[in-house]
Structure formats: structure tokens, C-alpha cells
Structure 1
Amino acid sequence: MNYSAELKKFVTSQYVYSAIRITLATVLPCLVLAHFGILKEYFLFPLGTSFVALTDQPGPFIRRRNALTFAIFCFVLVALIASLVMNFKILVLLEIIVFGMFFSLIGVYGQRLAAVGSLSLVVLAIFIDGHLTGSNIFKSLLIFTSGCIWFLLVFLIVTTIQPYKLASQMIGENYLQLAEFLKIKANYYQKNPDFDKLTSQVIAKQIGIKNLQEETRETVFKTRTIVNESTTTSRLLMLMFLNSMDLHEKLMTSESDYQKLQQSFEDSMILVNIHDYLNLLSEEITNIGIALQSGTRAKPMFNLELELKNLNYNYFELRNKQLSSDNLENFMILRQILMRINEITKEINEIYKVFSQDVKLAKSLSTGLDLKKFMPNEEKLNFKVLRNNISLSSSHFRHAIRITTALFIGYLFSLFQLLGIGHTYWILITITAILKPAYSITKQRNLLRLYGTIAGALIAYGILHFIHINGILFTILLLSMILCFSLLKGKYFWAVLFMTIYVFLSFNFLSPGNVNVIFRDRIVDTIIAGIIAFLVSYIVLPVWEHTQNLDLMKKSAECNLVYFQSVIAKFMKENTDIEDYKVKRKNAIIALANLSDNFQRMISEPKNQQKKLEVVHQFVATSHLITAYTASFSQYSQDNKKFPEIDFEGWDRKIEAEMMQVSKLLEGEKINETLKMESRLEPEDSSIEDLLLKRKTEIEENEIVDRRDPDKISHLTELKNIHDILELIYDVAKEQRKVIEKYRNESEATPPQS
């Protein structure tokens, strides 16, 4: 592992940048208040700042600003009502029901408002028992409101000074994810690879790339200064992001029969050479990502021209020594892989050129695309959407009932003082943090929260026991806050650990000497909240992932069919719409990632809810292969070459018929005889076999000609690889159809439960 690169990736990321901004916005007022000796009295000011800061999700400036303004309104309203009714237990219970339902339901409008809703419930937990408000409620609310508005001002100032910073960091993170994806793919070429493990890693990484691309699309395509291409920076950022999506497709095209490759070339070093070179390319992509995140210009790390020349030299040496009529087809596959590697290398070199454009050249850069077509779908802010989700058939509504029930039980439990619980708020905060719409995420967060809290509490206890110098404690507090906010999205255990440390240290500054009480309360409250969250998520209207599988399988099958149709159309028509093709490519990748993500969550659910697990697993695997093979197929159409020897119309009818059978079976429809007949068509590619036989005869009768042009590939090799890819797509589609047929037959044979 390159520890230097890993550290740079972390330090330059949007998460660390955001964490430093939140920490400074929270801590600087604390220093001023502490200087005047009024920090304890005005503690709600930094608390309000940190709450509003946590609702700031990546995205376009206008949406972020509006969400922060809405968050402030919600927080102040919730704090006001909670403070006014805190002495009337019946009203408090009613308040929990109303706020619990409303602030959970607004998640139907997307992640941004879901974050506002969750933090509004945290504000409710803080103000529910009046522990932090004191006797003067309105003074406390004014202080809290001022703290909320303070972060909005910080946000407005920072984004005005650095309008492109977030977009640049998010685009950089896209490249870093692609670098990790390529590193996984490189491992297929190492000695004795674990194919099942690597396939799982590839699918998991595809999910991460899809989620990040969706977030980045919203940020880049809805940021006015970038879309209008008014500046050099905006044009470069737009092109760098679009190039990252094209690079993603090229990386997907390296799908091959790796087991056959390993068997064919196990006695040579060529596959290891490919593995090493792909890792070099991965480091170059990482270098581009880090440069984008840090706002610097990237320069190549390696002499890729020389390294690629050496790789091609090793291939040609091996070819000249070992090529025969028996292994010709294996060398054709290997030659095609090297051509794909050439194209990835060219793409990376092109990205470096775009990155280093000067101002004059950059003014001519333009995307030529209708960017609205690439935007992620998002619910519009109207009451009808909310009203339509007030139904038990809505997963959002069921989640709202679960979280309201859990908060209700948590509050009632705290009233009994059974275990000497100091305050209500930590139980409610922990329930809000743990309980998520998906059972699998709730289960995972529950354990991570518990382990993180215990580990953090033990570390904090040790720090406070052995260190008594306020300067050192304050430094640890700052670092803990930065690390907590940096890791909150990706490393929940570590985020909770550092959160626990900074909470302990914060309370110690406010009320020294109470570390034993804080330690006990945090551990006990977390355990109680975890038990409540787990039981409620399992018992109260759970939404199991298997109920989503069929719809996601339908969507993936439909998008893969449309994607294949758009690709093969490029071979049969003179002119095709590149924009339309890219939209269909995007939809296929998103549908595949959504299906894969749902399957991954299903694995974490109780065994009795893992319905048809093997079928879904096979469907995910075959869908992944169809998308990857279609991406490989698409690369042959980009040079405007003609391949009259291949019967594309025949293949189109044959493969579409097979894929349409899958869609019809998923819809519960019967397959007509026409589709069955179409899928049995034999495309007229016989001339390829004749050409291949002729080439094998030449090899047997003549000496091998030492041709060493790495940028050229024989027409026969391209024909053979196109034919093989089309056969692979058909075979995988056929396998997928058999999987669904088996699933249907088992479902029909199973008697209904009485």
C-alpha cells in the first residue's frame, strides 16, 4: 500500500475540508466565549452551529443554502415547542409523535431533507427535558438561533471565496474510486486469483462509484457557474467529470474469461506484467484525483510510454516464441486486452492534457451535451408527494412509524429512572442515529455505535485520567472533532469513537470532575437505545429487501436491453445520437448498482427473510456481466470501422429475443413462440471461421512474422473478439433467462401459506 498517497487522498478530501470548516466554525466562538468566562452559559451557541453544519450535504450552492435556511427554521421551531411543553408529559408524547412522523417523512424529498429531518429530531432530544435551556427559555433559544445562523454565514463566506472547491473535490473523488476499481480489476491477472472474492469486490465498488457519480452529477450539473461554462475553471471541471465517466466505461470493458486466460498463460509472466502495469495506471488515476481534490495541476508520475512499450515488447516476444495454430485464439484474446490497455492509457494521457490546458485553449472547451438528461431523479417539493407516501405501502411511511415508536418507547423508558439514567437526550439521539430505513443498515450501525462508544469512552477516560494540561486536552478535542466529521460518512465506527472522545472532553471543560458520571451515562444510554432500535426495526412494520428485488430486477433487465440496443445500433446505422447513448449507458449502470446494493443489504438480514437468495445472486452476477460485456462491445464502434463479415442484424434479433424473454418472465407473462424462435437464430458469421482456419493454416505452414505495432490490431482479431463478445452476451442472457424460469417454476410449485 502507498501510505503517502492514502494520506494525501484523505487530507485533500471533501470530508476533511468540510470537517475542518465545521470544527473551526464551532470551536472559534467557544474560544471567544471561554475568554470572557461565559462558555457554560452560552453553550447552546456552538451546539446550534454544529447541528446546522451536519445538515450541509454536498450539492449545488442554491440547494445547500436553502436546506441550511430550512434547517435553521425547523431547529428553532422544534426547540421552541419542546421548551414550552417540556413540563407537560402528555404534550411531550404528542410532540414526539407529530415531530417523529413529519421529520422522518420529509426524507421522501431526498437525502438533503432527510438529514434536516434527522437533525431536527436530535434537536428535539436535546430540548425535550430542558436540561440545557435553564430557567430563561427565550434567552437560551436566542443563543441557539444565533449559533445556527453563524454557520449559515460561515457557509456563505466560504462558498463565495471558493465557489468551485466542492465540485473539484467530488470530481477528484470520482477518479480515486476509479483508481481503486482498476486496482481490483488488475488482481484478476495476478497468480492464482480468488475469482469469487474479486467479483464481489468489483460489484461492491460499482455501487460506490454509482452513488458518488449521482452526487457529483447533482453538484456539477446544477451549479450555475459550471453549467454555463463562463470560466476556464468551470469548463475544465465539467470536462474532467465527463472524462471520468468515459474512463469508467473503458475500465468496464476489460471483462474477459479470466480463468481461461490464467490456464492459457500460467507458465509465462505476461499476466503478471499486465497486473503490474494496470497498478501503475491506477496510481496515475489516483494522482489525478488527489490533484483535483487539492486544487493543484497534476503531472504524470511515470513514463507510461516507456512502461507500455515494455509491456508490448513482452507480449510480442511471447507471441513469437509460443504462437501456434492451437493457441491462436488465446493470443487473440490477449492481444485485445492489450489494445484495451492502450486505449485506457491514451484516455489517461488525454485527461492529463485537459488538466494542463492553458487559459486560451480552455476557452474553446465545450461538452456539447444536454446536461439535464444526465441529472439524477429527485422528488419535487410539493405536498402531493408527501401525501402519496402516507400509506403502509410506502417504505418512508413505515420507517416514520418505526422511528416514532422507538423515540416514544425511549422517552417512556427514561421516565422510570430504572438504571439511574442522568438525562433523556442521549437515548433519543442514539435511536435517531441508529434507526435507518433498511434493517441491515440499522443492524450494522447498532453494533458499530456500541463498539465505537465503548472504545471511545475507554480512550477518553484514560486521556482525562492521565492528562491534566488544558492545552493538550484542547488539541485532542480539535483533532477528535475533525476526525469524527471526516469519517462520519465512510467509517462509522471510527467516527463514533472520535465523537465519544470529543463529547467527553467537551463536558469535562464545561463541568470538570464528572468523568465517571459521563462514562456511565454514555455506555448505559447507548446500550438501551441500541436494544430499542434493534427490536423496533425487527418487529414494527419492517421493510425487507427481498420485497424490492423483483422491481429492481425488472429495471436492470430493461436498462440492459435498452443499453445493448443503443450499442448495436451504432454498428447498423450511419449516425447515432452519442448523447442518447450516454444516457442509456448511465441508466444501465445505475440500475445494476441499485440491484447489487439491495442484494448486499439482503445478505445482512435474518435468514428467514433472505428469500430466493441464490436466484437473486445469480441474477446480479449475470446482470453485471451483460453490462460489462455490452460496454466492451461498445468500444469497437468508436473508430467508425466497418465489420461487414458480422451479421449484426441477426445478433440483434437473437440477443434481444433472449433478453426480452427475461423481462417477460419477470413481468409474469408467457413467452410467445416468436421470441423463442428468434432466440434460436444462427447469425451468418461463417466467414469468420473460414478466415480463422486460413490464418491457422498460415501459421502451420509458414514462420511467424514479427509484427510489432502496438497501436494496430489485425482485422481478424477484432472480428473474432466482436463475435466472441456477442456470443458471451447471448450466453449470459440465456443463463439469466434459465435462472428466472427456475425461479418462476419454484414459485408456482410452492403451495400458498395457510
Structure 2
Amino acid sequence: MNYSSELKKIVTSQYVYSAIRITLATVLPCLVLSHFGILKEYFLFPLGTSFVALTDQPGPFIRRRNSLAFAIFCFVFVASIASLVKGIIPLVLVEIIAFGMFFSLIGVYGQRLAAVGSLALVVLAIFVDGHLTGANIVKSLLIFAAGCTWFLLIFLVVTTIQPYKLASQMIGENYLQLAEFLKIKANFYQKNPDFDKLYSQVITKQIEIKNLQEETRETVFKTRTIVNESTTISRLLMLMFLNSMDLHEKLMTSESDYKKLQESFEETGILVKIRDYLNILSDEISNIGIALQSSTRARAIHNIDLEFQELNIQYFELRNRQMTSETLENFMILRQIMMRIHEITREIQEIYKVFSQNVKLAKSLSTGLDLKKFLPNQEKINFKVLKSNISLTSSHFRHAVRVTIALLLGYLFSFMPFLEIGHTYWILITIIAIQKPAYSITKQRNLLRFYGTVTGAVIAYGVLYFIEVNAVLFTILLVSMVLCFTFLKAKYFWAVLFMTIYIFLSFNFLNPGNINIIFKDRIVDTVIAGIIAFGVSYTILPVWEHTQNLDLMKKSAEANLTYFHSVMSKFLNDKYSLEEYKVRRKNAIISLANLSDNFQRMISDPKNQQKKLEVVHQFVTTSHLITAYTASLSQYAKKDQVYTEIDAESWTKKIESEMNQVSVLLNGGKISEALKMESRIEPEDSSLEDLILKRKKEIMENEFYDRRDPDKISRLTELKNIHDVLELIYDVAKEQRKVIEKYRNEETTLPQS
């Protein structure tokens, strides 16, 4: 592992950048207030700052600004109501029900407002018992509102000074994810690969890439300064993002029949050399991502021309030694892989050229695409959307009910005299942090929260016990805050661990000498909240992942069908639209990622709720292969060549009949005889077979030529690979149809989503 590169990835990421901004925005007022000896009196100021800061999600400037303003209004309103009704138990219960339902339900409008809703409930938890507001409620609320507004001002200043920073960091993170994706793909070429494990890793990484691409697409396409400005940097960033999408497809086209490849070439050593070269390309992609995150120019760290040349020499020498009429077709597969690797190499070299800040390249950017079609779907902010989700059939409504009941139980538990709970809000905050719409995520967060809290509490206790120098304690507090906010999105255990440390240190500065009480309360409250959250998630209107399988499988099957048809339209000489193709490619990848994500969550559900787990797993795997093989086929559709030797019409009918059968079965229909007949069509690729026989005869008669042009590939090899990919797609589609037949046969009624 290159530790220097890994450190650069973290240090230059948007998460560290955001964490430092939040920490400074929170700590600087604390230092000023502490200097004047009024930190305790004005503690609500930095508290408000940190709450608003945590709602700032990546995205377009306007959306971020509006959500921050909305968060300030919600937080101050909630704090005001909570302060006014404190101590009046019936009103507090009504308050918890009203706010619990509303702020959980606004998650229907997307992750941004879901974050605002969660933090609004945290504000409710903080103010519910009134211990922070004191006697002068108006003064306390004004201080809290000022702290909230303080972060909005910082946000406006920072985004004005660095308008492109977030977009650049997010695009950079896309490249880093693609680099990791390529490293996984490289492992298919190692000796004795674990195919099941690698396919699982590929699917997991696809989910991460899809989620990140959705966030980045919105940030880049919806930020007018990025899309419409004619400045070099805005155009270059757009070009870099579009190139990352094309690079992702090229990485997907490297899908092959790896088992057959290993059987044919495992002993030759060429596959290990391919793996080593792909790892070099992965390092280059990672280097580009780091440079984008840090807003510096990227320079190649390897001479990839020389490295690729050496790989080609090794390939051609192996070809000269071992290619015979019997091994011809195997070498055709390997030659195609070499060409795909060459295309990835050229793509990376082109990206480096763009990164050279070539103004001509930037000004020539004209996608010809309607960028609105590539934006993620967003719920419109209107009351009808909210109203339509007030139903037990809505997963959002069910989640809101669970959150509200859990908060009520947590609040009532705090009155139990035998528990001796000193901080009601810690139970409520922990419930809010753990309780998620999916049971699997709630279960996972429950464990991570407990482990992180206990570990962090032990470390903090040790720090406070052995260290008495305030300067050292303050430095640890700052570092803990930065690390907490850095890991909050991706590494929840570490985020909770460092959060616990900085909370302990913060309370120690405010009220020294109470470490034992804080330690006990923190552990006890976390355990109580965890039990409540887990119990409510399991028993109160749970939404199990298997109930969503059918709908997601339908969408994936339909998206794969339209994606395949879009690619085959070029072979059929139909009207071929690049924009339509890219939209369908995006939809296929998103549908596949959503299905895969749902399956992975289902694995964490209780055993009795893992319905048809093996069948769904097979469907996910076959869907992934269809998407990947279609991407492989798409590279030929982009060429200005006609492949008359391929019976494209018959192949299209044959494959689409299998895909249509899958859709029919998923929708509860009966397969027609016409579809079954089309599936039995035998494509007439006889001319291709004749060409292969002719080539084998030439080799047997020693008419073998050592052609060493890595930029060219014989037409016969292209035809053979098109034929092989079409066969692979058909075989996988047929296997998927059998999987769904098994799915239908095992139950009389499919689960409804």
C-alpha cells in the first residue's frame, strides 16, 4: 500500500475540508468567549453553529444555501416551542409527537431535508428539559439563533471565495472510486482468484460509484457557474466529470469470461502481468483524483506508454510461441482484452491532457447533450408530496411512526427513578442517530454506536485522568472534532469514537471534575437508547428489504432491456442517438446499484425476513453481468463500421425475447409462444465461422504473421468478440429467466412492494 497516496486522499477530500471548516466555525467563537470568561453563559452560540453545520450536504450552491436558511428557521422554532412548554409533561408529549412525525416525514424530499429533520429533532432533544435555556429564555434563544446564523455567513463567504472547490473535490472523489474499482477488476487476473468474492466487491463498489455520481451530477450540472460560465476552470471541470463517466464505462467493458481466461492462460504468466499493469493505471487514476481534490495540476507518476509497450511485447511473444489453430480463439479473447486496456490507457492520457489546462480543449467543449436528462430525480417541494406519504403503505410514514414512538419511550424512560439518568437528551439524540428507515442500517448503527461510544469513553477517560495540561487537552479536542466530522458519513464507528472524545473534553472544560458522572451517563444512556431503537425497529411497522425486491428487479430488468436495445440499434442501422444511449446507460447502472444495495441490506435483516435470498442474489449477479457485457458490446456500436457478418437482427430478437420473458414473469404474466419461439432463433453467423476456419487453416499452413501494432485489431478478432459477447449476454439472460421461473414457482403470490 502506498501510504503517502492514501494520506493525500484523506487530507485533500471534501470530508476533511468540510470537517476543518465546521471545527473552526465552532471553536473560534468558543476561544473568543472563553477569553472573556463568558463561554458557559454563551455556550448555545457554538452549539447552534455545529447543528447548522451538520446539515450542510454536498450539492449546488442554491440548494445548500436554502437548506441552511430553512434549518436555522426550524432549529430556532423548535428550540422556542421546547423552551416554552418545558416541564409541562402532556404538552411535551404532544410536542414530541408533532415534531417527531413532521421532521421525520420531510425526508420524502431527499437527503438534504432528511438531514435538516434529524438535526431539528436533536435540537428538540437538547431543549426538551429546558436545562440549557435557563431563566432568560429570550436571551438564550437569541444566542442560539446567532450561532446558527454564524455558520450561514461563513458558508456564504467560503463559497464566494472558492466557488469551484466542492465540485472539484467531488469530481476528484469520482476518480478515486474508479481507481479502486479498477484495482478490484485487476484482481480477476491474479493467480487463483476468488471469483465470488471479487464479484461481490465489484457490485459493492458499483453502488458507491453510483451514489457518488448522482451527488456529483447534481452539483456539477445544477450549479450555473459550472455549466454556463465560459471560464476555463468551469469548462475543464465539466469536461473532467464527463470524462470520468466515459472512463467508468470503459472500465465496465473490461468484463470477460474470466474463468475461461484463467483456464487458457493461467500458466503463461501473462494474466499476472496484465494485473500489474492495471494496478499501474489505477495509481494514475488515483493520482488524477488527488490532484482534483487538492486543486493542483496532475502529472503522470509512471511512463504508461513504456509500461504498455512492455506488456504488448510480452503478449506478442506469447502469441508467437503458443498460438495454433487450436488456441486461436483463446488468443482472440486475449487480444480484445489488450485492446480494451489500450483504450483505458488512451482515456487516461487524454484526461492528463485536459488537466494541462489547455484552453483550446476547454473552449471546444460542446457535449450536445440535454444535461437536464442526466440529473437525479428530486421530489418537488409541495404539500401534495407530503400528503401522499401520510399512509401506512409509505415507508417514510412508517419510519416517522417508529422514530416518534422511540422518542416517546426514550423520554418516558428518563423519568424512571431507578435508572438515575442525568441527561435525558443523550438518550433521545442516540435514538435519532441510530433509528434509520431500514432495519439493517438501524441494526448496524446500533452496534457501531455502542462500540464507538464505549471505546471513545474509555480513551477520553484515560486522557482526562493522565493529562492535566489544558493546551494539550484542547489540541486533542480539536483533532477529535475534525476526525469526527471527517468520518461521519463513511466511517460511523470512528465518527462516534471521536465524537465521544470531544464531547467528554468539552464537558470537562465547561464543568471540570465530573468525568465519572459523564462516563457512567454516556454508557448507560447509549445502552438504553440502543435497546429502544432496536426494539422499535423490529416490532413497530418494520419495512423489510424483501418487500422491495420485486419492484427493484422489475426496474433493473427493464433498464437492462432498453440499454441493450439502444446499443443494438447501431448494429441494426436504426436511428442511433448518443444522448439517448447515455441516458439509458445511466438508468441501467442506477437501477443495478439500487437493486444491489437493497440485497446487501437484506442480508442484515432477521433470517426469517430474508425471503428468497439465494434467488435474489442470483438475479443481482446476472443483472450485473448483463449490464457489464452490454457495456462491452457498446464499444463496437460507437465505431463507424458495419458488421454485416453478424446477424444482428436475429441476435436482437433472441436476446430481447429472453429479457422480455423475465419482465413478463416479474409482472406475473404468462410467457407467450411467440417469445419462446424468438428465443430459439439461430443467428446466421456462418460467414464468421468460415473466416475463423480459413484463419485456422492459414496458421496450420504456417502463414502466420507477427503483426505488432497495439493500435490495430483484426476485423476477424472484432467479429469473434462481438459474437462471443452476444452469446454471453444470451446465456446470462437465459439463466436470469430460469432464476425468475424458480422465483415464481416457489411461491404462489409474489411479495408486493
Same-fold status (TM-score > 0.5) = yes
Native 8 Å contact 1:103 1:121 kept in 2: yes
Match of 2:716 in 1: 716
| 1:363 CA displacement | 2.5
Percent of aligned positions with the same letter in both sequences? 80
Deviations 1:359-402 (A, max 9, x none): 35423323221100000001000000000000000000000000
The one-letter amino acid paired with 1:336 is Q
In structure 2, the residue matched to 1:669 is 669
1:201 and 2:201 correspond: yes
CA contact under 8 A between 1:235 and 1:366: conserved in structure 2? Answer: no
Q: Aligned partner of 1:415: which letter?
A: F
The alpha carbon displacement at 1:315 in A equals: 0.3
Aligned to 2:473: 473
Letter in 2 for 1:719: L
Change (3 A) 1:749 1:600: closer
Any idea what SS the aligned residue of 2:120 has? helix
Residue type of the partner of 1:269? G
CA distance in 1 between counterparts of 2:238 and 2:417 reads 57
Q: Post-superposition shift, 1:750?
A: 11
Question: Secondary structure of the equivalent of 1:415?
Answer: coil
What SS does structure 2 have at the residue aligned with 1:66? helix
Question: Which aligned pairs between 1:587-736 and structure 2 lie closer than 5 A?
Answer: 587-702=587-702, 704-736=704-736
Say if 2:267 is the partner of 1:267: yes
Structure 2 counterparts to residues 282-297 of structure 1, below 5 A = 282-297=282-297
Spell out, residue by residue over 1:240-295, the C-alpha distance to the aligned partner (whole angstroms, 9 max, x if none): 00110000000001111111111111211100100000000000000000000000
What residue in structure 2 maps to residue 500 of structure 1? 500
In 2, Cα distance between the equivalents of 1:708 and 1:187?
Answer: 27
- Partner secondary structure for residue 412 of structure 1: helix
The match for 2:101 is 101
Q: For the structure 1 residues 171 and 750, does the alpha-carbon distance in structure 2 shift closer, same or farther, using more than 3 Å as the test?
A: closer
Q: List alignment gaps of at least 5 residues for structure 1.
A: none
RMSD: 1.2
Q: Secondary structure at the match of 1:668?
A: coil
1:690 shift after superposition:
1.1
How far apart in 2 are the matches of 1:431 and 1:472?
32
Corresponding residue number in structure 1 for 2:128: 128
Instruction: Please say which of residues 658-667 and 638-647 is displaced more in the overlay.
Output: 638-647
User: What code does the residue aligned with 1:314 have?
Assistant: Q
1:222 aligns with 2:227: no
Matched AA of 1:528:
I
Q: CA deviation at 1:417?
A: 3.0
Aligned pairs for 1:299-314 within 5 A: 299-314=299-314
Q: Is the 8 A contact 2:629 2:728 kept in 1?
A: yes
Distance 1:163 1:750 in 2: 50
**Cα distance in 1 between the residues matched to 2:703 and 2:742:** 52
1:453-480 Cα offsets, whole Å, 9 max, x none, are: 0000000000000111111101000000
Partner of 2:20: 20
CA distance in 1, matches of 2:750, 2:743: 11
1:240 and 1:354 in contact (8 A); partners too: yes
Contact 2:354/2:361 (<8 A) preserved: no
Say whether 1:350 aligns with 2:345: no
Amino acid aligned to 1:122: V
Opposite residue 185 of structure 1, the aligned amino acid is K
Q: Which residue of 2 aligns with 1:337?
A: 337
Equivalence for 2:396: 396
One-letter amino acid matched to 2:520: R
* Alignment check: 8 A CA contact 1:238 1:367 kept: no
- CA distance change for structure 1 residues 283 and 121 in 2, over 3 Å: closer, same or farther? same
Structure 1 CA distance for aligned equivalents of residues 288 and 155 of structure 2: 27
For these two proteins, the number of residue pairs brought into alignment is 752
Determine the C-alpha separation between the residues in 1 that align with 2:740 and 2:366: 45
Corresponding position of 1:487: 487
2:516 is matched with: 516
The Cα shift of 1:229 comes to 3.4
In the alignment, which residue of structure 2 is the partner of 1:380? Answer: 380
Q: Closer, same or farther in 2 for the Cα pair 1:749/1:593, shift >3 Å?
A: closer
Q: Verify the 8 A CA contact 1:443 1:534 in the aligned structure 2.
A: yes
Q: TM-score, normalised by structure 1?
A: 0.99
* Residue identity in the other structure for 2:717: T
CA contact (8 A) 1:588 1:627 kept: yes
In structure 1, distance between residues paired with 2:119 and 2:29:
21
Contact 1:129 1:424 in 2 (8 A): yes
**In 1: Cα distance, 2:581 partner to 2:266 partner:** 38
Q: Which amino acid in the other structure matches residue 560 of structure 2? A: N
- The CA deviation string for residues 176-217 of structure 1, in whole angstroms up to 9 with x for no partner, is 000000000000001111111000000000000000000001
Aligned to 1:483, the other structure's residue is in SS state helix
**Do residues 85 (structure 1) and 85 (structure 2) align?**
yes
The answer to which of 112-121 and 264-273 deviates more is 264-273
Match of 1:417 in 2: 417
3-state DSSP class of the match of 2:417? coil
- Match of residue 739 from structure 1: 739
Aligned to 2:46: 46
Segments of 5+ residues of structure 2 without an aligned counterpart are none
Q: Which residue of 2 aligns with 1:462?
A: 462
Q: What is the CA deviation profile of residues 113-145 of structure 1, one whole-angstrom value per residue up to 9, with x for unaligned ones?
A: 000000000000000001111111111111100
Residue number in structure 2 paired with 1:171: 171
Please tell me whether the aligned partners of residues 239 and 362 of structure 2 are also in contact (alpha carbons under 8 angstroms): no
Rounded Cα–Cα distance in structure 1 between residues aligned with 2:133 and 2:498: 26
SS at match of 2:421: coil
Shift of 1:573: 2.0
- Deviation (angstroms), 1:747: 1.1
Aligned to 1:557: 557
CA displacement, residues 273-328 of structure 1 (integer Å, 9 cap, x when unaligned): 00000000000000000000000011111111000000000000000001111111
User: Conserved in 1, the CA contact under 8 Å of 2:651 and 2:683?
Assistant: yes
**Alignment-mate amino acid for residue 515 of structure 1:** I
SS in 2 for 1:748: coil
Write the distance in 1 (CA, Å) between the matches of 2:161 and 2:440.
41
- Which letter does structure 2 place at the counterpart of 1:152? L
Q: 1:346 offset after TM fit, Å?
A: 0.4
Give the corresponding residue for 1:67: 67
Distance in 2 (CA, whole Å) between partners of 1:162 and 1:267 is 54
The equivalent of 2:148 in structure 1 is: 148
- Which amino acid is 1:726 matched to? L
What code does the residue aligned with 1:117 have?
G
Matches of 1:722 and 1:22 in 2, distance apart?
53
Q: Which deviates more from structure 2 when the two are superposed, residues 693-702 or residues 76-85?
A: 693-702
In the alignment, does 2:363 pair up with 1:363? yes
| Aligned counterparts, 1:443-454, within 5 A | 443-454=443-454
Tell me the CA shift for residue 420 of structure 1.
1.1
CA–CA distance in structure 2, aligned partners of residues 249 and 166 of structure 1: 24
The 3 A distance-change label for structure 1 pair 749 and 476 is closer
C-alpha contact (below 8 Å) 2:442/2:534 kept by paired residues? yes
The 1-side partners of 2:425 and 2:405 are apart by 16
* Offset at residue 749 of structure 1 (A): 9.3
| Partner residue in 2 for 1:316 | 316
Paired with 1:632 and 1:328, the residues of 2 have a C-alpha distance of 21
Deviation digits for residues 695-742 of structure 1, max 9, x if unmatched?
Answer: 111111215321111111111111000000001101100100011111
1:419 offset after TM fit, Å?
1.8
How far apart, in 1, do the equivalents of 2:571 and 2:260 lie? 28
Q: Name the CA distance, whole Å, in 2 between partners of 1:466 and 1:393.
A: 55
Measure, in 1, the Cα distance between the counterparts of 2:23 and 2:563. 45
Query: Residues of 2 paired with 1:417 and 1:717: CA distance?
Result: 79
Distance 1:104 1:637 in 2: 47
Cα offset, 1:748, TM superposition: 2.7
**In structure 2, distance between residues paired with 1:364 and 1:583:** 23
Residues 228, 749 of structure 1: alpha-carbon distance in 2 compared, 3 angstrom cutoff? closer
Instruction: Measure the CA separation in 1 of the matches of 2:429 and 2:659.
Output: 48
2:267 alignment partner, SS class: coil
